[in-house]
Amino acid sequence: METFLTRAHYEEAAAFVRSRIRQQPTIGLVLGSGLGGLADAVEDAEIIAATEIPHWPHSTVSGHSGRLVIGRLEGQTILVQQGRAHYYEGYSIQQVTLPIRVMQLLGLHSVIITNAAGAINPAYEPGDVMLIEDQLNLMGMAGVSPLRGPNDPSLGPRFPDMSVPYDREWRALAIAVAAEAGLKLHRGVYCGLAGPSFESPAELRFLRLAGADAVGMSTVPEVIVARHGGLRVLGFSGISNKANLDGSTITTHEEVLEAGKVLVPKLTTLVRGVLRRMKV
Ligand code: HPA
């Protein structure tokens, strides 16, 4: 029998984080593969190692450092999750999304989620950024949902609405920030898969037919939990590679980390600009 995490687990993790910080964060920021450098700009940083927090899933993947950084950026108090755990590492899908529950219990109103993704849309190039407008929850459609199991109504509804997973107002802010900075920003659909194998050419052609513009191994379960818990979501995919629709090239994790170097300055501009303008 599968064991499910409960509010008590989330409360324990949240209480530990609360006991270690003086600041009250209001916005979360989840950093994807190779994008950890985005945390460097945080001022008055209070840092917690992920390994210290009860029940926290720590990543075993290179390019994910496993820290929480709480501090100030562009006039906001933010909580940065530097490094995430993935389902393919062997964590349950509820463990993977525990950090989002902690953000919910700490009272954050929004979360900005970033990831590294492969481009399915042929117009996208490595180093480009995509604003996530919608998502394909292939893992969830196949049964791997963080909301599977008993529902705790104090955390969210049994059947949460998913008609607008990515907040309209925050997306409009991102588009405005990109235009002002002269930064190319694609808008598309992110498809979340379990991984860890990259996709076969036939799988990629299938995903393209299904309407996916970018593909990765994270984000979607986090967005489901965030929406369930009433957090507003903004999402960016850093395009690290062109997906291999005809089998002529191969995709490597090194390539994904390398693209992060080009992507960090662009995502920093976008995240800073959005934070500066976010008002609730
Ligand atoms: N496929 C899946 N996940 C990824 C990719 C990819 O091509 N690139 C970065 N994460």
Give the distance (Å) from ligand 1 centre to CA of residue 122: 15
Domain ranges, ordered by start, for the chain: 7-277
Joined tokens for residue 77: 């108090």
pTM above 0.85, yes or no: yes
Smallest Cα–Cα separation from 228: which of 153, 141, 127? 153
Among protein residues, the one whose CA lies closest to atom 7 of ligand 1: 118
CB of 199 sitting under 6 A from ligand 1: yes
What's the burial of 19, exposed, middle or buried (CB within 10 Å: 0-12/13-18/19+)? exposed
CB of 215 sitting under 6 A from ligand 1: yes
Map residue 47 onto helix, strand or coil. strand
Q: For this structure, is 244 an active site residue?
A: no
Atom in ligand 1 nearest the alpha carbon of residue 243:
7
Give the distance (Å) from ligand 1 centre to CA of residue 216: 5
* Catalytic position from the list 14, 50, 58, 89: 89
Chain segment 213-225, per-residue pLDDT in tens: 999 999 999 999 9
Q: For this structure, is 169 an active site residue?
A: no
Chain segment 242-278, per-residue pLDDT in tens: 887 777 777 788 877 788 788 999 999 999 999 999 9
| CATH architecture type of domain 7-277 | 3-Layer(aba) Sandwich (3.40)
Whether 21 and 70 have beta carbons less than 8 Å apart is answered as: yes
